[in-house]
Amino acid sequence: MAQRPNIVLMNCDDLGYGDLGCYGSAVNRTPTLDDMAKHGIRFTDFYMASPVCSPSRGGMLTGCYPPRIGFGTFEGEWVLFPGQGVGLNSSEVTIAEILRDAGYRTKIVGKWHCGDQEEFLPLNHGFDEYFGLPYSNDMGRQKTSRLNIPLPLIDGAEVIEEQPDQRSLTERYVEQATRFIRQNKENPFFLYFAHMHVHLPLYTSEEFVKNSQNGDYGACVECIDWAARAVLHELKKQGLEENTLFIFTSDNGGRGDHGGSNRPLRGKKGTTWEGGQRVPCIMYWPNHIREGAEVHDLVTSMDFLPTFAKLCGGKVDPDRKIDGMDFSEMLFSDTASPRNEFFYYIREALEAVRVGDWKLHTSKDGEAVKLLYNLRKDPGETNNLYDEYPEIVAKLEARLEYCRHDLGDTVTGTAGENVRPIGRVENPKPLAEYNEDHPYIVMMYDSEDIG
């Protein structure tokens, strides 16, 4: 490569495996993403490190299973909530830090959700710029919400608006992304575009709602596709399309309601069935990576960190234990993935493992189970083969035992030998507090949908 590539990582919130046209949707129109898949690489067996957002995002940014970085649970919560005194430890090394050290300009636009105290925010984890929400878009003042804290919109480290109109947020995010691309067209950059869509509540502009074939959900999916088209348009305008690796994915599986779909997978967000953690992933880099390829090998978001480092001239500390693997060769040739196994955690409970085409479940919600599936033949996990292949069960159980000792497992009461602590601060406080005299543009969001 004559130049190191720019990296654009577009990460959605709760987008299901079956929500894009190129992954089987007949109700959501996604022409931009479908075209990226047609002229790039579409991964069929791509996994996020967790089926819920905070651990998923922390795992992706650090290249680690969430329990390794203390992101299994958050003072008993599944995800981080406003004002908690825990978050991503300052000693952890993120993709942004590695690329910034390699000379890249770095920016996150959108959802962070790795801690809202100053020590945990993006500017202290390798990002030069930040514009977005520090956590999920249902964590503001809203009907049915347990929170009475205004939703803060942040620029850098400053709250610039409370209770923003969510219908216009994606357009504002695109504006930020466009400006960042223009300002850095002469030097390499890393843009992490983290959508609020399609997390509940579903808000987007009237134009998408009016033309949707799938209600508000389809409108939000089509808004995502528009955002991808707008970013691509700017890259082309600046002559950067052929020097930018554009990755599109989702932080975990979809809820499977409100019009969303994980078909043909079983399960949903918050579960270790395939529908909870196997998500769409498209990579587009014209005239560089394979065109029109469909990859069935096992790849994960944790693999981004070493892969980006290899492509961009970054350095990964060999003495720091991570779980990501460099899959950069797969982008250019029909090479097998370096990864052959994946462990499925829900919080700090190890529930399943995949090795090759086989997946073994040994626990579900604290109860022991005996479930074995061949995912190549049965991605919907419907045909239990546990009793038919005892030798495969034994092999996979041995890998689970290895993982328990490495990362821990609350199901068996095993402490992990190679885990690091979550970050902590004293006297935490929320970024915003409700004031009845404040001129909020939206005093309270009118949707009752949360989650």
Is residue 113 part of the annotated active site? The answer reads yes
12, 22, 39, 113: the catalytic one is: 113
111 with 417: CB under 8 angstroms?
Answer: no
Q: Is the dihedral of CA 221, 28, 15, 269 positive or negative?
A: positive
Is residue 288 part of the annotated active site? The answer reads no
264 with 18: CB under 8 angstroms?
Answer: yes
Closest CA to 375 of 394, 399, 391, 358: 358
Helices (H), 7-151: 31-38, 53-62, 95-101
Three-class SS of residue 8? Answer: strand
AA identity, residue 419: V
8 with 240: CB under 8 angstroms?
Answer: no
Q: What is the dihedral of CA 170, 190, 99, 251, to 10 degrees?
A: 40
12, 53, 114, 281: the catalytic one is: 53
Three-class SS of residue 100? Answer: helix
Query: Three-state SS string across 353-365, please?
Result: EEECCEEEEEEEC
Residues belonging to the active site = 53, 113
